[in-house]
Amino acid sequence: MFNFAAKFEAGVPYAAFLDRYATAEQRARWNGVHSSIRLKPEQQALLQSFVREMKVLVMNGAWCGDCINQCPIFEHFAAATPRIAVRYCDRDDHPDLAAELQTCGAPRVPCVVFLAEDGAFCGRCGDRTLSKYRRIMNKLTGAACPTGLFTESDEIAEVTQDWLNEFERIQAMLRTSARLRQIHGD
């Protein structure tokens, strides 16, 4: 089985990832998205209620638009709770990880791997969330003219909620794990 825990340890924090891989123009785009994300009070409260440590490994690329639009969300989650640790691995610098995490036959990014505190694999998600795919499908199959009903901030809020749902699902898995409950005595 692939050693995701070792890849997590080889990964770097958000700022270090951008320092190493992003151009000035890419960094400006990452910073723009990061500054536009607003967690609602109930989202912050949910994140603050997490009791199990969660390691989050993100395979991405500084050049990738989907990464630019999603990875800053993870940083807001991590800032809301000490229970989430996020590490980033560049897809091109980690070809073994890219091969392991292929999606639909290609090394698509971002791809998120969720690990327990001891590095045990819990799940993976990516490259886009359901609400993002719905928007893409609507553009492919829907009206040729946008309706003006949705704005970019609506999309960011929807994608943020999609990711929060996934983080909550993994946290519930960790919280109810018989193995972890025995370790923590709860």
Query: What per-residue confidence (pLDDT) applies to 143?
Result: 56
Q: Please, which pLDDT band fits residue 146 given cuts at 50, 70 and 90?
A: low
Tokens found for residue 146: 């946008």
Cβ atoms of 73 and 36 within 8 Å: the answer is no
- Exposed (0-12), middle (13-18) or buried (19+): which is 19, by Cβ within 10 Å? exposed
pLDDT at 63 over 60: yes
What percentage of the chain reaches a pLDDT higher than 90? 84
Mean of the pLDDT values across residues 111-125? Answer: 98
Mean of the pLDDT values across residues 129-138? Answer: 85
CA 58 – CA 90 distance, rounded (Å): 8
Q: Please, which pLDDT band fits residue 27 given cuts at 50, 70 and 90?
A: very high
- Residue 136 makes CB contacts below 8 A (sequence gap 6+) with 128
Question: How does DSSP classify residue 129?
Answer: -
The residues spanned by each domain of the chain are 4-184
Query: What per-residue confidence (pLDDT) applies to 151?
Result: 46
CATH superfamily for 4-184 is Glutaredoxin (3.40.30.10)
pLDDT at 44 over 70: yes
CB atoms under 10 Å from CB of 33, counted, come to 18
pLDDT at 37 over 60: yes
Q: What is the pTM of this model?
A: 0.92
Query: What per-residue confidence (pLDDT) applies to 71?
Result: 97
